[in-house]
Amino acid sequence: MGLYLLFVIGCLSGLVLFRRRFIPRGGEADPCSERLSVIIPARNEEKNLPFILESLLAQTFKPGEIIVVDDCSEDRTKEIAESYGVTVIENPTLPAGWTGKTWAVWNGFQHSSGDTIAFLDADIRLSPHALEALLKARAKSGGVISVVPFHHTEKFYERLALIPNILGVFAFTSLFEHKNPRKGLYGSCIITTRSDYEKINGHSSIRGELLDDLNLGARYREAEIDVTNFIGHDLVSFRMYPHGLKSELQGFGKGAVLSTSRLSIWTIILIALWFVGLIVSASAVFLWNTSWAYPLISGYLLYALHIYYLVRYVGHFGKITPLLHILSTLFFLVILLYSAYQVVFLGHVLWKGRAVEVGGHRDK
């Protein structure tokens, strides 16, 4: 009876955490009155740039300028960006005290002229009406907004991101984060007015922070500027790690441990309940021939159905992956161990060929 109760409480915790905060359609705001600058930091993004640039050029609302900041790439990032006729800036040498992304984004902003700024990662893909909807949503919400993109996957190893992605959506849609003074933004897609961004001194104010997006949101909250997060669903998507399992592990591992400290205690408790139930249910694979088999198998199937519901809004992971959620669960445990090893023993995390120190917060 105790196991059944654990699984029910776990799934109910997930339903409480998950809010279907879609980007609102329509609205009275007229984005045509705004000049929008799109800033894309890009380091070794030759494979991703064509997707985001083509989607930007196909928008119903045309941005005033598109700026790609080539962050010391070792591939054809610069050449590909230039072929689309956008503004390309070569990021200056990284100074002490900055991380690579914050330095690239800050330099892109320095070259921009828009009243509104969209910071987009190079792996983002937009539907034709996305920018128009985002500008209207920002005008309606006020302050700054960000979007957790819908995750498109193609290869098997990419689908191991199922559980990490669900947990990420929990963290950004939880109703307990609304009043969190440390409420973060999702860095892949951020829309802000120029005046609000300058008010907090932008990415310069978090120049050395590893968790730049989470800390940027906290800066807005400190300045009493509203922070609102949406899920991308059919408007904003990305393909996160097309370059292999190593990049996927490094990408999730760089903030898996540290980001937890930014959440509300109630969000942490509910995520813990959900994840504990998930892990216990996964033990059905190893204990199927014991007296615990029936409750464990029931719990495993209950979580599979629960994940089938969630995944419709989180990403495309294939029809069979939610049923094999044990694989993604084990992958997330590996991510946690890898992240803890980097933070505790190495004192830095690896990402895109750079080592970012956790204590001193600077790139090597």
192: left (phi over 0), alpha (psi -120 to 50) or beta: beta
> E-assigned strands of the chain?
36-42, 65-70, 87-90, 116-120, 124-126, 144-148, 150-152, 189-193, 227-231, 236-238, 315-316, 348-351, 354-357
> Which pLDDT does position 279 carry in this prediction?
95
- Report the SS3 class of residue 164: helix
**Which domains does the chain possess?**
2-17+261-357 (no CATH), 31-243 (3.90.550.10)
d(CA 15, CA 18): 5
Q: Specify the 3-state DSSP secondary structure of 257.
A: coil
Question: Is 236 within 8 Å of 189 (Cβ atoms)?
Answer: yes
Query: Does pLDDT of 208 surpass 90?
Result: no
Residue bearing the bigger pLDDT, 16 or 180: 16
Residue 254 has pLDDT above 80, yes or no: no
- Tokens encoding 357: 């120190």
Model confidence at 363: pLDDT above 50: no
Quick check: 29 pLDDT over 80? Answer: no
CA 311/CA 13 separation, integer angstroms: 16
CA-CA distance, 333 to 160, in Å (whole number)? 11
With 0-12 / 13-18 / 19 or more C-beta atoms within 10 angstroms meaning exposed / middle / buried, residue 247 is middle
Question: Partners of 37 in the beta sheet?
Answer: 65, 117
Neighbours of 195 (CB within 10 A): 10
Chain mean pLDDT for the chain: 89
The tens digit of pLDDT for each residue in 320-356 reads: 999 999 999 999 999 999 888 887 777 777 666 666 6
